Structure 1
Amino acid sequence: MDKLIENIKAYIPLNDNEIQLLKEAVVKKNYQKNKIIFTEGKISDEIYFVTKGCVRLFYNVDGNDKTAFFYTEGQFICAGESYTFNIPAIENYQAIEQTELFVFGKSKIERLLKEIPKLEVIARIATENELITCQKVIASFVTKSAEQRYIDLLHTNGELFHRVPQQYIASFLGVSPETLSRIKTRVFNKKSS
């Protein structure tokens, strides 16, 4: 809970009463490694905050998982289009390691926003961060090679290589596991020479 409060306090001050209301609005849930948190076809009515662990966002494309993103500690997760427009989601979320989430139900969020209107700022910031992240991912696929995307991921979020199975990293980078292996070798050899 402290991590969530700290995260929010980075943007807006909260008094003791507001912190108490926030604590009453969330439910803590734990997920075992590889457990599915949310599946496509359902209508999303929850927003998650990762306090511990790693969550993979993936899509089912013709029977194959395609990894789109990884969420780690301190990040909000939401199937945005489904949540906003009350339509079935096309995404899936999976715990990649033992994961702890704080879960905000839609009705509790609406009540919270009435009681603490300044929390709208957090909703806006979470949405903006998600949009910026999506734009960066799209731009990297349009403007960079798989090797450049690998190097960027290594520099910006290298810890993922120790936390996430390589096939998910390969899928996220848009390559096969074999191609990822060749990219790693090439990058290592360039650094060595």
Structure 2
Amino acid sequence: MQNLILHAYIKQVSKRIADEDLPLLASCAVSRGLKRGELLLKEGEVCREIYLVKSGYLRTYYNKEGELINLNFAFEGDFTTNLQSIRSKQKSDFTIEAGEDSLVWIFNLDKINERFNANPQVISFIRRLAIYILLASEEHSTLFKLYTPTERYRYIEKSKPQLLQRISLSQLASYLGVARETLSRIRAKKS
């Protein structure tokens, strides 16, 4: 059952993957349970892993002079990582932690490279996965470029209701780039 769920998540990234290649790709992932607040990637570490959430959620945040600024929330079926740190092998400028008790699959890129560096299916999957993660990041970036705070909140209401149900108001305000008081006013207004 565990592998069937993982296979389905792999297929969402790379729809053309042959069914016979799914066990190979699944073997690249290690399952790990996390307690709320447990860190997967600390600011200042070089990132070498890609995380897939099976249950719970992961929160990505930046610490700006003691103020935590939420950059991303990865829920069940979402992948997350620090692609810039992976590519440049530079230290991460943000942290990824469990927002609640969670179960994740971890794709360690160094281990994958050791075992499968000549396998075209694995290489293709990792490339598609990087694009998949970049597109998700671009979606959030576009919110800030094109929409007002009220429009950003309405977008979240329609397309990502789990954010409203599972994260705190303070974290949501940070994610939307507004003060908590502003978010309260936005929520009080009728659509």
Normalised by the size of structure 1, how large is the TM-score? 0.88
Could you list the per-position Cα deviations for residues 25-63 of structure 1 after superposition, in whole angstroms to 9, with x for gaps in the alignment?
Answer: 322111112222211100111111111111111101111
Match of 2:171 among 168, 172, 181: 168
Match of 1:94 among 73, 94, 97: 97
Structure 1 residue 139, shift from structure 2 partner = 2.2
Match of 2:7 among 5, 22, 33: 5
CA RMSD of aligned residues (A): 1.8
- Name the CA distance, whole Å, in 1 between partners of 2:24 and 2:131: 25
Greater Cα shift, 135-144 or 55-64: 135-144
**Partner-residue secondary structure (3-state), 1:28:** strand
- Name the CA distance, whole Å, in 2 between partners of 1:72 and 1:115: 31
* Unpaired runs of at least 5, structure 1: none
Matches of residues 30-109 of structure 1 in structure 2 within 5 Å? 30-109=33-112
List structure 1 runs of 4+ shifted beyond 6 angstroms. none
Normalised by the size of structure 2, how large is the TM-score? 0.88
**Is the Cα contact below 8 Å between 1:3 and 1:74 reproduced in 2?**
no
- Name the CA distance, whole Å, in 1 between partners of 2:106 and 2:135: 23
Greater Cα shift, 126-135 or 108-117: 108-117
* Unpaired runs of at least 5, structure 2: none
Structure 1 residue 121, shift from structure 2 partner = 2.8
- Name the CA distance, whole Å, in 2 between partners of 1:98 and 1:181: 27
- Name the CA distance, whole Å, in 2 between partners of 1:13 and 1:136: 29
Structure 1 residue 6, shift from structure 2 partner = 1.3
**Partner-residue secondary structure (3-state), 1:42:** coil
Structure 1 residue 115, shift from structure 2 partner = 5.6
Q: In structure 1, what residue type is equivalent to 2:181?
A: E
Match of 1:117 among 109, 117, 120: 120
Q: Which has the larger radius of gyration?
A: 1
**Is the Cα contact below 8 Å between 2:25 and 2:122 reproduced in 1?**
no
